[in-house]
Amino acid sequence: MKSKRNCWAHALRCSVMVALFGLQGAAVTATAGELEYGKIGEPVHLVIGYQPYYTESWSGVVMRGKKMYEKYLPKGSTVEFSVGLQGAVIVNAMLAGKQHIGYLGDMPAIITVTKQEVADIRIVATLGQGTDQCNIFLARSDAPQFGSQKEAIKWLSGKQVAVAKGSCADRFGQAVFKQENIEPAAYLNQNIEVITSGFRAGKLNAAVIWEPTASRLVQEGLAKRIASGNAINEKDSAYLTMRYDLIKQRPDVVNGWLNAELDAQIFLADPKNAQEVAQMAKEQTTGFSEKMLWSSMYGRYPDAVGGGPIRLTLPYAITPSIMTMISSAATFLYSVKSINVPTLRPEAVMPQFADAVMKERGLTVPIGTVNALPESAYKGKP
């Protein structure tokens, strides 16, 4: 980080980056408690927290697999990817200064930006938005065959239903129960491992869960899919977060990473790359087959169980509708006492960086969509 290499590309380019992000001077000095990332244009070392076990944030999988950041970061920079089995692991690492950029679902992303007394983290871009990535109802494999999602949801009344409390799946589950006036016999707080064991032991009637675990449980025959956010038009989302000390000191790095992230999302949306994305995900996870992973991002499920023509929309930018989703999610987290403020501080979400990159590249929202593909499109290993 202390290298005396010349400014990346050209001094003029650096001054443009500084102006672009509203910062003055060639570098910003770190204050007490902040990490130091070197001067603008110098090589930087980044540690990235990402979730290959959460399909909606798979642009991180593409970034690691294709190393798209190498095109944009200062020459000599190094990047280390750290797998988070769940968002809370990444949140804690970012707050502790052990990770600098995080790929997070909406719930952990919102939680982390409310911890400014520990470390200042900001949301800077949208990774994806869907209706059936985190919003999926699974039922035990011997559950009745339902004619529609609404019929399946009504069956949940009086049943044992599990969810990871405080997650995006929990928010969805509670929204469905409220809208459809459903009262489960029990609404259990369980993690993915316990939910999997519960289905295997026949102790669970249903669970609310996210991809790719949802596709794995279905393909293993432990559960079957019965509904998704498509039933009540409830969306889920994921976000790119950065430490503010990085944003403040290294606008060149912020711009570089966001350009690479844009490339990764465009790659993700191209159906010609579906098999390669599944292969990369397989290399970066354990316990999943290539087909399970392909199905979680690209597979087309029947409409009757919550499938639809689009698996993921890629806004990339933080649009007004995305801001509405963030505000709604913050309200939910406050209601379940996961955060101590009902609304986020205005500076917690910083859309200007992604907006600037899109303008620079002449793109508009959304930058792509991941369209659902028929099972016949899968060409990999079973």
In a domain, 300, yes or no: no
On the question of pLDDT at 24 being above 60, the answer is: no
Q: Please give the structure tokens belonging to residue 355.
A: 């907006």
pLDDT of residue 352: 98
Shared domain for 206 and 271, answered yes or no, is no
Q: Are 106 and 163 in a shared domain?
A: no
Angle, helix 320-335 to helix 106-113, in steps of 10 degrees: 80
Task: Establish how many alpha carbons lie within 13 A of residue 37's alpha carbon, considering only the half-sphere containing its beta carbon.
Answer: 32
Same domain, 149 and 259: no
Rounded to an integer, the average pLDDT of 233-260 is 97
What proportion of the chain, given as a percentage, has pLDDT over 90?
90
Contact 118, 95 (CB under 8 A): yes
Closest CA to 169 of 206, 223, 222, 224: 206
Say whether pLDDT at 300 is over 50: yes
pLDDT of 313 over the 50 cut: yes
CA 122 to chain CA centroid, nearest Å: 15
Q: Rounded CA gap, 57 and 382, in Å?
A: 24
pLDDT tens track for 140-181 = 999 999 999 999 999 999 999 999 999 999 999 999 999 999
Which of 52, 153, 168, 49 has the alpha carbon at shortest distance from 106?
A: 168
In a domain? residue 293: no
pLDDT given at position 213: 97
Question: Residue 279 burial (CB < 10 Å; 0-12/13-18/19+)?
Answer: middle
Position 178 in a domain: yes
Same domain, 110 and 221: no
Average pLDDT over residues 115-144: 97
Q: Could you say which DSSP state residue 144 is in? A: P
Same domain, yes or no, for 124 and 57?
yes
The per-residue pLDDT for range 314-372, each reduced to its tens digit, is 999 999 999 999 999 999 999 999 999 999 999 999 999 999 999 999 999 999 999 99
Give the confidence band of 104 by pLDDT, cuts at 50, 70, 90. very high
115 lies in the same domain as 257 = yes
Question: pLDDT band at 4, cuts 50/70/90?
Answer: very low
Secondary structure of residue 327 in the 3-state scheme: helix
200-236 per-position pLDDT tens digit: 999 999 999 999 999 999 999 999 999 999 999 999 9
- Whether residues 163 and 242 fall in one domain: no
**pLDDT band at 28; cut points 50, 70, 90:** very low
pTM of the shown model: 0.90
Query: What is the span of the domain harbouring residue 326?
Result: 11-129+236-287+310-377
> Could you tell me if 156 and 204 lie in one domain?
yes
Provide the b/e sequence for 221-245 (b: ≥16 CB within 10 Å).
Answer: ebbbbbbbbbbbebbbbbbbbbbbb
Cα distance between the two ends of the chain: 45
Compute how many other C-beta atoms are within 10 angstroms of the C-beta atom of residue 380.
15
Residue 382 has a pLDDT of: 78
Residue 225: beta bridge partners? 138
Q: Using CA atoms, how far apart are residues 106 and 52, in angstroms rounded to an integer?
A: 15
Residue listed under structure tokens 């944003």: 247
Q: How many helices (H) and strands (E) does the chain have?
A: 14, 12
CA distance 51 to 61: 8
Regarding whether 240 and 226 lie in a shared domain, the answer is: no
The reply to whether 37 and 115 lie within a common domain is yes
Which amino acid is present at 99?
Q
Per-residue pLDDT reduced to its tens digit, 46-68:
999 999 999 999 999 999 999 99
Looking at residue 147, what is its pLDDT?
A: 94
In contact, 204 and 195? CB cutoff 8 Å = yes
118 within some domain: yes
Query: Does residue 226 contact residue 123 with C-beta atoms inside 8 Å?
Result: no
- pLDDT, mean of residues 283-289: 97
Task: Give the pLDDT mean for 1-8.
Answer: 35
DSSP-derived secondary structure letter, 260: H
pLDDT score of 208 = 98
Tell me how far CA of residue 240 lies from CA of 104, 243, 317, in angstroms.
6, 11, 10
- Do residues 83 and 50 make contact, with C-beta atoms less than 8 angstroms apart? yes
Q: Report in angstroms the alpha-carbon separations of 271 from 141, 263, 374, 378.
A: 31, 15, 11, 11
CB atoms within 10 A of CB 272: 7
Q: What are phi and psi for residue 162, nearest 5 degrees?
A: -115, 150
Q: Report pLDDT for 317.
A: 98
251 and 339 share a domain? Answer: yes
Instruction: Quote the radius of gyration of the chain (alpha carbons, Å).
Output: 21
Q: Which of 185, 212, 231 is the last residue of a domain?
A: 231
Is the confidence at residue 7, as pLDDT, over 80?
Answer: no
pLDDT given at position 381: 82
pLDDT interval class at 9 (50, 70, 90): very low
Q: What is the pLDDT of residue 19?
A: 34
What CATH number did the domain enclosing 47 receive? 3.40.190.10
382 domain-assigned: no
Is residue 296 situated within a structural domain?
no
- If one counts the domains in the chain, the total is 2
CA-CA distance, 100 to 122, in Å (whole number)? Answer: 11
Work out the burial of residue 141: count CB atoms within 10 Å of its CB; fewer than 13 is exposed, 13-18 middle, 19 or more buried: middle
Q: What is the pLDDT of residue 26?
A: 34
Residue-averaged pLDDT of the chain = 92
Q: Tell me: do 87 and 142 sit in the same domain.
A: no
